[in-house]
Structure 1
């Protein structure tokens, strides 16, 4: 199974680091083009190569590692997904300019963290992302932990737990294998309708929970 990563920010680059540590091949992309990723791929080594967004999106398993505010524009313009797997690592939050009035809004409990929640009405994040990638098999994963620990799955004599959920059993099995291969302990939260809201930042009950499975 080939792997693509759309987005080279904190999430995308740390997913790439986790894969690179285990020598797992992947193509990473961003909106600025492969040339802008030269220093990152040099750091990560030969298993990770830079490509265009279209090249990354053509992989069998594609990590959506873009900011929520960019997701529709980036994902909706790609070719048909035709049953390929999309790992939805997004969260419905907007990053705030520290000098903006929003960053000092006393009614926003997340202002101190530099973010605010995006109102999705009665929908949850993976439900919205699924609309941007029609024909894809969506698995929610890699979104509930701090991005800086994604390259450090083993800690304190155990393995960090990484939640995942989805509606297609085969797609979930492929993502579970990646989770195991990079050193995490996978925990299946069930369908997207159940697991998506549970693990989605900022208000999911399992969001930001850093559980360790002791071996």
Structure 2
């Protein structure tokens, strides 16, 4: 299956590094254009290609690796999804500017983020509205992105959670997670698993389990 990554920030670039270590081919993209990814491509090697967002979005499995506030801009105007798999790697948080004024009502200010209130919805439910016709799986969102290039540590494999409502789509994402060197754990439906693993308040978010 072909793999596309939309977004080349911390999540997208570290996924590219993780995939490259296992020789997994993928197209990574950014709205700034393929040329802006030259240094990353030179670093990771030939299995990762730079492409347009449209090219990445045409893959069989498309990983959305952008900040929450950029979802609409990243996904608007792309070709019909037609049942292809979209992996939601986002979290509903706002990244604060370094000079942001102190906010005593924000318990996460020390981490440089602020939770976004989605009401009674979970994040993949909202992302799904921007990818009509896609099969959405939540994954790659619950760990510190800086550990993703090192899936095998301490004699074991880092656990990556995933969830979704389509069994076949989840099976394909599980295969990708395992192929990248992680240990995939199914958390069930998006409604259940998406909430459990979503930063910042999911009970399994930022939990770094190692499968020995």
TM over 0.5: yes
Q: What is the correspondence of 1:1-215 to structure 2 with a 5 Å cutoff?
A: 1-101=1-101, 104-214=102-212
SS in 2 for 1:39: helix
* Offset of residue 76 of structure 1: 2.6
SS in 2 for 1:132: coil
Q: Which ranges of structure 1 fall in alignment gaps of 5 or more residues?
A: none
CA distances 1:178-207 after superposition (whole Å, capped 9, x unpaired): 110011111000011110000000000000
Q: Which ranges of structure 2 fall in alignment gaps of 5 or more residues?
A: none
CA distance in 1, matches of 2:48, 2:38: 11
CA distances 1:77-107 after superposition (whole Å, capped 9, x unpaired): 2111000000100000010011122xx1111
SS in 1 for 2:16: helix
CA distance in 1, matches of 2:159, 2:3: 22
- Give TM-score, length-normalised by structure 1: 0.97
Runs of 4+ in 1 over 3 A off after TM superposition: none
